[in-house]
Each structure stands twice: as structure tokens, then as C-alpha cells.
Structure 1
Amino acid sequence: MAPAPLTWTIRLYQALTTVGAPLALRAARRRFEATGGPMARLPERAGRTAQPRPDGPLIWVHAVSVGESLSVMGLIEDMVRAGQSVLLTTTTATAAQLAAKRLPEGALHQFAPIDTPQATARFLDHWRPDLAVFIESEIWPNQILACETRGIPRVLLNARLSEKSLKNWGKRVRTAMALFTRFDRIMCQSDTTRTALIPLGAPPAHCSTTGDMKAAAPPLAFDAAEAALFTKNLGSRPLWVMSSTHPGEEEVASMAHGIITAQHPDALMILVPRHPERGNEVETLLQGQGWSVARRSQGTPITPATQIYLADTLGELGLWYHLAPMACVAGSFTPVGGHNPYEPAHFGCAVLHGPLYANFAMAYGAMAARHAAIEVEDATALGLTVAGLFDSARLPVLQEKARRFVEAATDIRAGILDTLLSLKN
């Protein structure tokens, strides 16, 4: 299938991003500073780097932030074992920190170039990838077109477009076709996405449903020695996790924990903000509501008087899921779209979540059908549900169903790896 012709919309985008490149870089700098990006690495956003390209074949994987990066960590490990060097690019500082901890030897991290022709050209001139893999909904016209011009095969992996995105693309069908027909393969999370993408130009013969990469990701890592210390210190205290909270959800957690401690006075909540840099803000909020708070980033120990443990560090979510029998996955009580329920399920946690989970509707729908997750409407329902599960016969049943669900998820990585390796130059 020949690529669809470029539209005036794309040509205008190319012209504006060429002329406006200095403004785009200035805006990227402001975002970089605001999110705590290491300023010494800001030139990477302009496609510049002092890091040498490794010898041999190189696969470029672009995953915008933490969730997307975690979903492909196992696949990157597979690529390295297959003898490929891998370059992972992200745009957020937290994803860069995760990459520094989790990438295997043989894989590198860079901040992604902004989507201007100049930054993209510098990036591709230096790294010369043999394959470009864009994760989920990373569809950048200049990068896609520059890869095509250079003969670099292009893959959209774990494709997922929101209802809003699909509606927007539907208003610009010719522009969508000009981009989607330029992917050599599109691998979708669900049949729904595949069905929606084909009228937008996704080549039917090269557009498949492979399943959600997040389900095929390995369990989160954790420090076994730290886990043993916490287990000894916590004893038999009732324990639950509220993970990946966003502004407004700490209030939900606080109200729920008030209901829980009314029934279980020694209960401990481990609260994990999605963005650890909010630690000061969250601690001030919780202490202002009268809670006794210990804070992970400050090394504050948990004592019998501690009611909430503020886990404001990066990369330790696996530790908290390992310790707790149940976890509420936040990002689902405010319109964020939810977060990954597979991660706690790997640890045999009973999985709870709020009602706003558009980004994980497929995952939660499948888990609900197997009674492997519980939806709670608000703080009151969350508190009553958690309090009721402690010491109940229902808790181990939910834990086992969550574990079996994620274990039964098809390991799709082997097939995806074979496809990717067959495409690279």
C-alpha cells in the first residue's frame, strides 16, 4: 500500500515548525526546568548529544513517560538479549530517572528531540537507527517523515488512541491517512483500536491486535532486603496502598483512611504520589488534617504511631505492592484516565480503583469480568471496602484472582520481537 499524499495541513506544520524551531525549543526549556529535568541534558531536546552511537544495529524506541517506558522494559531486555543495541527516548524527567535504574546494559537513554525538522535531523544524523518504534500514541509528523526519507522502518507499537483523539483524527481523515500509511507495522492493544485505525489509513495487512504490552511487562523490581526490614517492622498491622495519586486524590485517600482507622485503629496507609516532587505539598496537606506521617524520602522511620507512610520516591512501587495485601490504583478519582492495574496484580494484591479510568478501560473491563478488580465510586466507598476486606475471607480470593488474571495474560513479547527484528534495516 503506497503512502497517502501529504496534505496542506502537514506541509503547513512542517513550515511552521521549521520557522518556529527557536520558540519550540524555548518552550521545551521552560517545561524541562519546571519538571526538574537535568539542565546539562537539555541539548538532547534539540537533537544534540555528547554520547557516542554504539557500533552495530540500533533500535530506537520512543516512549513518552513512565507508564509507556515500563510497558516496554521487558521488550527492551529481549532486544538486548537478541544482540541489538537500543536507544530509549522519553520526554519526562521521571521517565529518565526510571530509565537510569531499569535499562539493561546495552540500552541507552536520551531525551527525545522536539518535533522540528532541525532537531529531528540532528538526532537521526547522530544515532542512525535501523528501526524506529513509537509507543502507544506518539505520532510526530516530522519524525515519521524524516525516518521515511532516510529509509528507516517505522512501527507504532501498543497503539492506543483515546476517543477524543480518534474523533479529532476523524475530522482530518486525509491528514491521518498521510501519517498512518507511513507506518510499516501498527500493533494495537485492542480490536477496537484496530477497527478505528483502518479507516484512518492503517494498512489492514500490516495492522494487527497484539494485546496490551503493559500486561506482558515483567513484575516491578524491588529490594528484597528492604522488604524484609519493612515486614519485620510492620508486623501484623493492617496495611493498604494508595498508589499513583494526583492532586485532589490525597484528599480521597485521607478521607478513606479515616473510615478505615475508625474500624482498624492501627491500620497503615502507604501513599505513593505519582510525581514524587509533590512530597512537600502532600506532607503538608496530610499533617494539616491531623495525620501522623512518616516520609520515605526523608528517611523517617515507621513507628507504632505512624498512620500514613508517604512513599515519595521513584522506582519503589514494586516494594509497596510486595508488602501490601491490597492496593487502590489512583489516577481514577480525577480525570487523569487511570493507571496500570497489572502492576499490583503481579504481586497478588487485591486491586481497587475509582470510576475514571478511560486510558485503562480495556484492562479494567477484562479484570472486572473475571472478578479480579473492584471499582469504588468515591472516598466513602473506598474506605468501607478496604476496612471490610481486612481479615475477611474475600481478600485472599481477590488476591488470587488478580494474580491468575495477570499470569494468564498472553506473553506477547516473543512474537512482537520477531516482527520487529524482521523489519529493521
Structure 2
Amino acid sequence: MARPFPYLLYSGLSRKSGRHRAERLDRLVQNGALSQSARDQRLAQNLPNRPKGEVLWLHAATSFALRPAMELMCRISEDRPDMFGLITLSPDVQPLAGAALENGHLTILPEDDSAIARRFLDHWSPDSLVWIGGQFRPNLLRETHERHIPTLAIEAPESPTTLDLTSPVPGLRKHVLGGFDHVITATSEAAYPWRRAGLNAEQIEVLGYLEEGGIAPSVDEEELTRRMAEIGTRPTWYAARLDRSEVSEVIRAHKRALRRAHRLLLALSLSDPSTRDSVLAQMETAGLTAAILDPDHPISESDQVVILANEPHHSEEGLWHRIAPISFMGSSLGPFGGSDPYPAAAMGSAILHGRNVSDFTTAYARLAAGNAVRAVNDGFELGEEVGRLMSPDQAALMAGAAWEVASTGAEVTDRVANLVQDFLDLRERITP
């Protein structure tokens, strides 16, 4: 089928040989402005092997779209554990600190050149595409459409329905948007360009943004019951992923809070579990009764502090955020970037944190806007806040606000996950 004139015009204006694109990227590599790996990703060269089975391709067009994309991939993987996830990022989007996919790959979106796009699609042969945010790539999406790969577009915060072009091409946006099979927008106004592009009412849903933080950690209910029985009526708070240098401030905070509640229990996890023995000794030197908490160790009435034996995985983090009405997110009193607050928010724990949360700026900004977190400068302030939040009504107010922020967008995540399941099921039935 002949391509519409706006596509032909765009192809003519943007046509550059693969050699010229490679030369431009090579100069960036030589100048130190681009890594060799990033250069290869943008040219769709030296790609890792494609696994057998289904490949779901998600694109995060902006930094606001990356975390929702990763959470959506995790949600869909729960029902399709053998599916491989491919997440592409726009070149200006930086991966999240510690970001990794258990059964997937993060890569930079290839250049918007037809030959490069074909090379990328020939290699990965994705079964479906979910494009989150704007900045649409015309050639790449046209090649995807011509291969009959089901496509879904989702609006993300600060991600308008623009094309990734250096100069406008009249009529092109309409054709690009019209190539999508389904779209989810945040508002009726945002749906207007899609209606103009020819999508019908069944193809457009106005649900809200796909936002981060809606997935709660899984919890071992048997262990939860056991630990809750061991703790009984004791007030408890959890300090998550502490850097070794923060331990002295947390000791200071715990001692201050103990003045209000002498049975108060502190559970803590460390960003570097190999320091647990020295932290245990530090606790004992400070006059606190502490124990290393492994699965076989029961929590006794005499324990004032329990230190998790290993770096906590999502299930264990979820367990302690569920047990403790108050969570302090560590690695935030010093220049360490902070810890992810959403597991605590999703489990209904009031959240405290230090001022250094640069790795999770968007998350903390969202929670702060909802009066769902409180920042502290040191152990003295932390102890004061822990003491204040031991009042059940105070903790409940903050925890409720945090849960509301974390659960915002969960409806969209669930709907998108169901749509993608339908796309993949349909493609599975029609693929020989």
C-alpha cells in the first residue's frame, strides 16, 4: 500500500544513509559525548539475542514514563512469566538507579531511519508495542504498523502527543496517530487529536494517566502472621535500606522515641548487608538490645532492635512496611540518592525520609504534594517524628494519604495490562 504524502515528504526530508548516521554517532563517541554501547543501540547493531517466545515492547518516551513502563511490565509478567520484556528509552531518558528487568532488556530507541527501524524490528520481532508518552517516531511506527504489530498508546504526565521531529511536516501527526490500534488518554481534551486522526470511540478510552507506584509488594502471609504474633501490641517502626553512615542517627532517633514508648521495636535493613555484624556491635555499644533477624529467629520481648540478615527483597520489604505503621526510607540522610518510597506507600505505612532523595525525585514530589511524606534533617528530628506518629490517628492520616497517591493510576495499569493480554492472545491465535 502506498504511503501517504506526509510520510513521503518526511522520508525525503529526513533521509540520511546509515553510513552518515553512524559517522555522526561515531564523532559523539570520539568526543566522549556518547558511549559505544549507546551508539550501537541507536543504530540497532550488536543487539543481544532475542529469546524464544513472546516479546512485549514498551517504549518510555520521557523520564515520567519510565517507571510506569517498568511497573506495567512487572504486572503483565505476573500472568505471562515466560514473556520477554523489551523497554526502549528515548536518548535523553536516564535509566532509574538500580533499574533491571528479571526477564527483559532496557535499551535506547533506535534512530528514526527506515533501514535502522527494519533492522531493529527484524531482530526483536515484538508481539505488541505499548508506547507511553509522546515524542512519536514516524518511520519506526510506520514500519511497526506495516508488520501488523498491535500498538497501544498511553498518555503520561508531561508527555503531549507530539512527534519527534526537528521541523514540522504538515499532516504527518494525523497519520502517525491514526496508525495506533488503541489509546488511553487522561482527559477528553487529550483525546481530540486521536479522534481527528480517525480512531473511533471504541479505540479511545479516557481513564487518566498511567502513573508510577500502583503495584504493592507481595507478602508472605504465613510469615506476616508469625511476626505479628511475636510483636503483639508493641509499637514498631521500620528503617529501610540504611547506609552504614546513617546508623548512628537512627540510634539517636530510636533512643529519643523510646522515651515515649519504652517497648518500641525498631526493625532495620541495610543497603550493604555485609555491615550487619558491625551495626549489631554499634547497637550494643549504644546500650540497645539488638539481634540479627533471620527466618528462624523469633522476635523476643527483650529485643529493642532487629536487623534483617540480608538485603531485603520486595516481599520482605512489603512484610515490614505492612507490620510497621511508620517507615523511614534510608540512604537519604547522606548523598546516597534515597530509597523507593512506593512499597511503603502501597502497604499503608507513614513515610519519613531524609533530604537526599535524588534517585526518586518524582516519587517523593508526588507524595509530598499529597501530604503523604515528611522530610527530616537528622536523628533528632527523626526521633521527634517517630514519637509523634506513634499516635495512631497521626500515622493513619499520613499512611492514608500515601496509599491514595500510590493507588492513583492503578485502574489505568490494570486496564492496560488487560488490553495487552488481549493483544498477545489474539496474536498468538493468528500467528502460524
TM-score by length of 1: 0.60
Alignment of 1:138-149 (within 5 A): 147=144
SS at match of 2:84: strand
Alignment of 1:8-407 (within 5 A): 15-16=20-21, 27=37, 46-49=46-49, 51-54=51-54, 59-61=56-58, 68-77=69-78, 86-89=83-86, 96=100, 99=102, 109-113=103-107, 115=109, 124-135=121-132, 147=144, 150=147, 152=149, 154-155=151-152, 157=154, 159-160=156-157, 182=176, 184=180, 210-214=208-212, 216-217=214-215, 219-243=216-240, 251-252=245-246, 254-264=248-258, 266-271=264-269, 273=271, 278-280=272-274, 304=303, 306=305, 308-309=307-308, 311-316=310-315, 317-329=317-329, 341-354=341-354, 358-360=361-363, 363-364=366-367, 367-368=370-371, 373-379=372-378, 380-400=380-400, 402-403=402-403
User: 1:388, 1:171 → 2: CA distance?
Assistant: 53
User: 2:119, 2:165 → 1: CA distance?
Assistant: 33
> C-alpha offsets along residues 87-112 of structure 1, whole Å, 9 cap, x if unaligned?
3135989655x63xxxxxxxxx2324
User: 2:235, 2:246 → 1: CA distance?
Assistant: 19
User: 2:336, 2:139 → 1: CA distance?
Assistant: 28
8 Å Cα contact 2:256/2:383 also seen in 1: no
Q: Name the counterpart of 2:10.
A: 5
User: 1:144, 1:347 → 2: CA distance?
Assistant: 39
Amino acid at match of 2:212: K
Amino acid at match of 1:210: G
User: 2:385, 2:176 → 1: CA distance?
Assistant: 49
Amino acid at match of 1:260: H
- Over 3 Å counting, the alpha-carbon distance change for 1:239 and 1:16 in structure 2 is farther
Instruction: Compute the displacement of 1:207 (Å).
Output: 10
- Over 3 Å counting, the alpha-carbon distance change for 1:19 and 1:186 in structure 2 is farther
Instruction: Compute the displacement of 1:8 (Å).
Output: 8.3
> C-alpha offsets along residues 154-204 of structure 1, whole Å, 9 cap, x if unaligned?
545463459xxx9xx9996769x999985647756x77xx98xx99xx989
- Over 3 Å counting, the alpha-carbon distance change for 1:241 and 1:334 in structure 2 is same
> C-alpha offsets along residues 265-287 of structure 1, whole Å, 9 cap, x if unaligned?
653132353xxxx4336876786
SS at match of 2:219: coil
User: 2:135, 2:324 → 1: CA distance?
Assistant: 34
TM-score by length of 2: 0.59
- Over 3 Å counting, the alpha-carbon distance change for 1:312 and 1:178 in structure 2 is farther
Q: Name the counterpart of 1:40.
A: none
- Over 3 Å counting, the alpha-carbon distance change for 1:235 and 1:12 in structure 2 is farther
- Over 3 Å counting, the alpha-carbon distance change for 1:378 and 1:112 in structure 2 is same
- Over 3 Å counting, the alpha-carbon distance change for 1:413 and 1:13 in structure 2 is same
- Over 3 Å counting, the alpha-carbon distance change for 1:405 and 1:47 in structure 2 is closer
Q: Name the counterpart of 2:92.
A: none
User: 1:224, 1:146 → 2: CA distance?
Assistant: 47
- Please say which of residues 291-300 and 66-75 is displaced more in the overlay: 291-300
> C-alpha offsets along residues 236-292 of structure 1, whole Å, 9 cap, x if unaligned?
4442223466xxx6645641441232331653132353xxxx433687678668678
User: 2:138, 2:312 → 1: CA distance?
Assistant: 35
Instruction: Compute the displacement of 1:130 (Å).
Output: 3.4
8 Å Cα contact 1:295/1:311 also seen in 2: no
CA RMSD in angstroms comes to 5.8
Find out whether 1:416 has 2:416 as its counterpart.
yes
Amino acid at match of 1:128: S
8 Å Cα contact 2:257/2:386 also seen in 1: no
User: 2:17, 2:119 → 1: CA distance?
Assistant: 21
User: 1:347, 1:364 → 2: CA distance?
Assistant: 14
Q: Please, which runs of 5 or more residues in structure 2 have no aligned partner?
A: 39-43, 89-94, 428-432
SS at match of 1:411: helix
8 Å Cα contact 2:238/2:320 also seen in 1: yes
Instruction: Compute the displacement of 1:419 (Å).
Output: 5.8
- Over 3 Å counting, the alpha-carbon distance change for 1:382 and 1:411 in structure 2 is same
User: 2:277, 2:299 → 1: CA distance?
Assistant: 15
- Over 3 Å counting, the alpha-carbon distance change for 1:353 and 1:129 in structure 2 is same
User: In the comparison of the two structures, how many residue pairs are matched?
Assistant: 374
Instruction: Compute the displacement of 1:358 (Å).
Output: 3.6
8 Å Cα contact 1:72/1:213 also seen in 2: no
Larger Rg computed on CA atoms: 2
- Over 3 Å counting, the alpha-carbon distance change for 1:15 and 1:255 in structure 2 is farther
Give aligned-pair identity as a percent: 19
8 Å Cα contact 2:244/2:275 also seen in 1: no
User: 1:181, 1:331 → 2: CA distance?
Assistant: 47
User: 1:378, 1:12 → 2: CA distance?
Assistant: 55
Q: Name the counterpart of 2:430.
A: none
User: 1:343, 1:231 → 2: CA distance?
Assistant: 19
